[in-house]
Structures are given as structure tokens and as C-alpha cells.
Amino acid sequence: MEILGRGKKKGEEGYGQGRAAIAEGDDVLLDEEALSAELLACLEAPSYRPPVLPAVAIEVMALAQKPDVAIKDVITLLERDALIAGRVLKVACSPVYARGAKVGSLKDATMRLGLQTIRDLVMQITLEMRVFKSADYASTMELLRRHATVTARLCRVVSKYTALEAEFSFMAGLLHDVGIAGTLLALAERKGKRKTAPDLIAIWPAVDRVHQRAGELMAKHWTLPPDIAFTLGAHHQVLIQGYPHPLAATVAIANDLAAELGAGVVPKTGDGADEGRACLVAHSEVDRTSPHTLAQAREALRLSDATLALIRKDAERAVAEEDEAAR
């Protein structure tokens, strides 16, 4: 086995971006270094394909990047997928968006929500249907889904307090940990001689180590905007080629807030009793960013202590609203 790479520790640029060449057919190895290499080899293989996103989701993403878009084009797209269209209508009718006015059609919903919100909503629906789903890791995938949704909302909160363009903030937060989901799905599909997927408690450190690179690869397969791909590959480092990336900094802060407020990939001790959650609690540093990197993120976004206090207050309110909406 050949392992090449740099960034041995979380927080170092290049962490989780090693390369490996492993003989085909090898079973999953439980040594963290070797398993990390095998996972990367699997994800970077020409034959790897991430979960397929519905054509509607991809086309809505492309449409949202055009300067002039006709409402009828958006409606035509949404009408091609009844499940997505139904969810969009439901959200548009919710108290958050309806504001007392009746929403009775996709045209009403599109005009009420706007193209960027519809884009984000369609991607959220798609991830819930296609990516955060696994019979082998169901409990973990549900934690990931909630963490992604909360982090996305908190990215919007952080963005309100910066002078930066926040077009992709929700999307980046929503997608930032798809690398974890994609890696778990790949492991579940490659059980080899095993009848069950590898135990999460054994593989979790390696999955955590490669999830940024995995997310970046998935974003490229899905032809997502470059800023999204960069952020997925560096949301625990913030620095890209030596310079802070504002979107990565935003996600780093939102991700950390989500964990502190009880919506992390790893639940707080005592939160939940099933085997999957107990396993995750054992790995308390999973999906966390170092204090040094968080300080870099705050500096990059020019967030003072007073501003951070305001962000945290808004974040607490956003998490409470998300939990209420989920009930």
C-alpha cells in the first residue's frame, strides 16, 4: 500500500487529502491510517459515483446562476417532480413565508419564496430523500440530516453580521458534511464478505478524517459552484492555498455553533440512548474545528466578541425554531 499526503492533523491544510493505491478486493481495514487511505482510494476511483441527484435539483441549481430567469421556467421545472413540488408548496404555505396571504399554486410559491430560496429548498429536499438515507447507518444519517439543516440556518445567521455576499451560505451549510454521508454510503455498498457494514465505532475516526475531501469530490461530481466545492473541502481549515475563504469561515463558525447548541454530528452526552448515538458520543471530537482555526475564521469575517454574542443569541433562537418546525 502506498500512502501519500500532507496535513496529518485536523486544522492543517491538506488534512484528509492523502492518496492511496490499494489492491482491489481488500476488505475494510480497521487501522485508521490504512482505512483512511482505502476510503480515499474508493472515493477517488474513476468508477465512483455519489448518490444521484434528481435532474430537477441540478437544473434548478443551473437556473439560479442565470442573471435573467422567467418564473414560468422555474414552475416548469418544479412540475416535473411531484414530491419536490409538493414540499415547495408546503413550505411556501408555512407561517414563516405565507405572512397571512394565501399560496395556492407553484406560481404563488415561486413568487413568494424567490429563486434562491427555492434552490436551497430543493437541495434540502433532495438530500433528505437521496443522501441522508442508509439502512445500515440510519441513526447516524438522521443526526447528519438535522446537523446539516441547522448548520445551514446558522450560516444565514452568521452572514447577516458580515459584509460578505451570502448567496451560497445556506447551501454551503446544508452540504458541508455530505462527505460523511457519501463515505458511509460507499462503505455500506462495499461490505465485501461481511453481511453487515463495518461498525461505526471502528471506522468513525477515518470517516471524519476523509469527509472534507469526500464532500469536495461529491460537489464536483454534481457540478456544484466552485465556491461550494472549495468550502466542502476546507470547512475545518478555512485557509485555501494560504488564504482564508469567507464561505469556509462562515461554515466553520456555524458548524461549531450547531455542535455547541446540541445539533452536532455527535450528540451531547446523555442525548439519546440508541446504539448509534452512543457510538458517536464516544468520538467527541468528530466534525469539530480547532480553536486556532475558529479564531482565523472570526478574524477573516471581522467578527468582534460583541458581534459573536449577538450571533449566538440569534443562533439559539434559530435552533429552537428548527426544533419546533420538526415536531
In a domain, 14, yes or no: no
Question: pLDDT tens digits, the chain, 327 residues: what are they?
Answer: 333 344 545 455 554 444 433 333 444 445 778 888 888 888 888 888 888 888 899 899 888 888 888 889 999 999 999 989 998 998 888 877 766 667 788 998 888 888 889 999 999 999 998 899 998 888 889 999 999 999 999 999 999 999 887 778 999 999 999 999 999 998 888 765 567 778 887 888 889 999 999 999 999 999 898 999 999 999 998 988 888 899 999 999 999 999 999 898 876 554 444 545 555 555 567 788 999 999 999 999 999 999 999 999 999 999 998 887 776
Q: Does residue 150 sit in the same domain as residue 219?
A: yes
Q: Does residue 234 sit in the same domain as residue 92?
A: no
Q: Does residue 307 sit in the same domain as residue 193?
A: yes
Q: Does residue 59 sit in the same domain as residue 197?
A: no
Number of structural domains, the chain? 2
In a domain, 154, yes or no: yes
Q: Does residue 314 sit in the same domain as residue 220?
A: yes
In a domain, 41, yes or no: no
Q: Does residue 188 sit in the same domain as residue 145?
A: yes
Q: Does residue 110 sit in the same domain as residue 148?
A: no
What's the pLDDT at 274?
Answer: 52
What's the pLDDT at 92?
Answer: 85
Distance CA 33, CA 292 (A): 24
Q: Which of 108, 128, 148 is the last residue of a domain?
A: 128
Q: Does residue 179 sit in the same domain as residue 217?
A: yes
In a domain, 111, yes or no: yes
Q: Which of 72, 96, 128 is the last residue of a domain?
A: 128
φ and ψ of 3, to 5 deg: -125, 120
What's the pLDDT at 267?
Answer: 62
Q: Does residue 78 sit in the same domain as residue 173?
A: no
Q: Which of 110, 128, 146 is the last residue of a domain?
A: 128
Strand partners, 4: 19
In a domain, 86, yes or no: yes
Q: Does residue 196 sit in the same domain as residue 163?
A: yes
What's the pLDDT at 30?
Answer: 58
In a domain, 15, yes or no: no
In a domain, 19, yes or no: no
Q: Does residue 98 sit in the same domain as residue 167?
A: no
In which domain, by residue range, is 65 found?
Answer: 52-128
Q: Does residue 200 sit in the same domain as residue 313?
A: yes
